[in-house]
């Protein structure tokens, strides 16, 4: 069994976390969440489940450099 992070979104909006479920597959995790009433399948068009061990958010920083180029 694997712990999944379940996300949902409505239309083209942002993904939002709905919960974590322990299940045998991503589909089973989504089904469990909906059956518990924590995810509304009517309100949210799209669901995705990602193994929690693979979920590694990163921080992005903008860096600019000044470089000289001679031709």
pTM of the model: 0.72
Asked if 33 and 17 touch (Cβ cutoff 8 Å), the reply is no
Q: Which tens digit of pLDDT belongs to each residue from 11-36?
A: 778 888 999 999 999 999 999 998 88
pLDDT score for 55: 86
The fraction of the chain above a pLDDT of 90, given in percent, is: 52
Strand partners, 44: none
- Please give the average per-residue pLDDT across 1-16, as a whole number: 89
Q: Please tell me the distance from the alpha carbon of residue 35 to that of residue 37, in angstroms, as a whole number.
A: 5
Strand partners, 9: 46
Confidence tier at 40 by pLDDT (50, 70, 90): low
Q: Please tell me the distance from the alpha carbon of residue 40 to that of residue 63, in angstroms, as a whole number.
A: 41
């Amino acid at each position: 069994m694997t712990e999944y992070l379940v996300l949902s979104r409505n239309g083209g909006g942002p993904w939002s976390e709905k919960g974590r479920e322990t299940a045998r597959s991503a589909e089973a995790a989504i089904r469990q969440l909906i059956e518990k009433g924590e995810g509304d399948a009517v309100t949210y068009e799209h669901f995705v489940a990602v193994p929690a061990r693979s979920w590694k958010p990163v921080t992005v920083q903008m860096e600019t450099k000044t470089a000289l180029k001679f031709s």
